[in-house]
Amino acid sequence: MNSDSILFTAADLDHWAETAGRLQPPARLAVIGDPVAHSLSPEMHNPGIQKLGIDAQYVRLHLKPEEFVTALPKLSALGFIGCNCTIPHKFMALEAVNEVHPAARRIGAVNTLIFRPDGTIYGRNSDAPGFLRAIREEMGREVRDLRVLVTGAGGGAGAAAATVCAMEGCRSLLLTNRTFEKAQQVAEGLRDLPSGPVTRAVPWTAESMTAALAETDLIVNCTSLGMNPGDPEIVPHAALEARHLVFDMVYKPLTPPLVAAARAAGAVAVNGIPMLLWQGVYAFEWWFGAEAPVAEMRRGLDEAIRSRMP
């Protein structure tokens, strides 16, 4: 029995033999979220697991925020190897695990859980190296060599991306958010990094953003703008140049408006799919202690995208 169309819940964990006992291979990994039915992670991870001949499969687990903490020891007792955490659990996971990798602690979010044989849970963040790898693989550049502008930097993914860029020692770091004070708070929190870049917040106005683009190499969009028709421009499209690099975490639609506008200006621009792939690769390698079969994982992800997105 395969789990591709099954969505497990907290109630299922208490009756796992009945609800998941027929799964072959057995469920040993999961993506946890609320919602989570849309996740492409099982279609990405399962081909890699199969390639290595591991007797396990990766499933979706829908947990509400109030169910998350109590579910983790149940998963450990059921023999789970690990899990990925997505919205809204990444920040709760930071405090729910027994030990946190220093980079994840600094970023302030955990998206990868590793269940140890002794029952303890180790928390890591694969979004950070996944983001850096996506820039390297898709754009042929290193974040540390670039001047970076992060939009939507007031919290969540934006604050995490800003932290990663600062930890890498990018040349300069500009942060913007619709609530300017939130961007200021994030910028202030990064100024204690010993080798961090000059970091400042800029207002989210057309004039300020146009000026910011003049001193930016890499634009990182961490807002949800572009997912819905009629969303306002994230940065003034007219100010985009061929020299810019654009990384938009949005991937539905597959060509968000910012990516389309950047490409029209001659710039290199990618959506969030490469980061989804590479963060999965790092999590896979942490769970299994083996090199991830990237080609199989990429193929599974591509097939899922073609089948599920217009």
228-266, pLDDT tens digit by residue?
999 999 999 999 999 999 999 999 899 999 999 999 999
Q: Are residues 296 and 223 in the same domain?
A: no
Does 1 fall in a domain?
Answer: no
Chain mean pLDDT for the chain: 95
Q: Are residues 229 and 287 in the same domain?
A: no
Instruction: State the pLDDT at residue 69.
Output: 98
Q: What is the mean pLDDT of residues 211-232?
A: 96
Q: Are residues 86 and 173 in the same domain?
A: no
Q: Are residues 61 and 81 in the same domain?
A: yes
Does 175 fall in a domain?
Answer: yes
Tell me the pLDDT tens digit for each residue of 161-177.
Answer: 999 999 999 999 999 99
Q: Over the chain, what HEC string results?
A: CCCCCCEEEHHHHCCHHHHHCCCCCCEEEEEEECCCCCCCHHHHHHHHHHHCCCCCEEEEEECCHHHHHHHHHHHHHCCCCEEEECCCCHHHHHHHCCEECHHHHHHCCCCEEEECCCCCEEEECCHHHHHHHHHHHHHCCCHHHCEEEEECCCCHHHHHHHHHHHHHCCCEEEEECCCHHHHHHHHHHCCCCCCCCEEEECCCCHHHHHHHHHCCCEEEECCCCCCCCCCCCCCCHHHCCCCCEEEECCCCCCCCHHHHHHHHCCCEEECCHHHHHHHHHHHHHHHHCCCCCHHHHHHHHHHHHHHHCC
- Is pLDDT of 1 > 50? no
Does 43 fall in a domain?
Answer: yes
Range of the domain at 236: 128-271
pTM, whole model, 2 decimals?
A: 0.93
Does 2 fall in a domain?
Answer: no
Q: Are residues 96 and 211 in the same domain?
A: no
Does 229 fall in a domain?
Answer: yes
Q: pLDDT over 90 for what percent of the chain?
A: 91
- Is pLDDT of 2 > 90? no
Q: Are residues 265 and 290 in the same domain?
A: no
Does 54 fall in a domain?
Answer: yes
Q: Is 90 a catalytic residue?
A: yes
Q: What is the mean pLDDT of residues 196-203?
A: 94
Q: Are residues 77 and 155 in the same domain?
A: no
Which structure tokens are listed for 5?
Answer: 């169309």
Catalytic residue among 51, 64, 74, 90: 90
Q: Are residues 152 and 199 in the same domain?
A: yes
Number of domains into which the chain is organized = 2
Does 94 fall in a domain?
Answer: yes
Distance CA 310, CA 305 (A): 9
Tell me the pLDDT tens digit for each residue of 40-72.
Answer: 999 999 999 999 999 999 999 999 999 999 999
Q: Are residues 212 and 255 in the same domain?
A: yes
Does 165 fall in a domain?
Answer: yes
CATH code at position 241: 3.40.50.720
Distance CA 92, CA 116 (A): 19
Q: How far is CA 61 from CA 20, 30, 39, 142, 157, in A?
A: 12, 6, 10, 35, 21
Q: Are residues 121 and 135 in the same domain?
A: no
Q: Are residues 121 and 132 in the same domain?
A: no
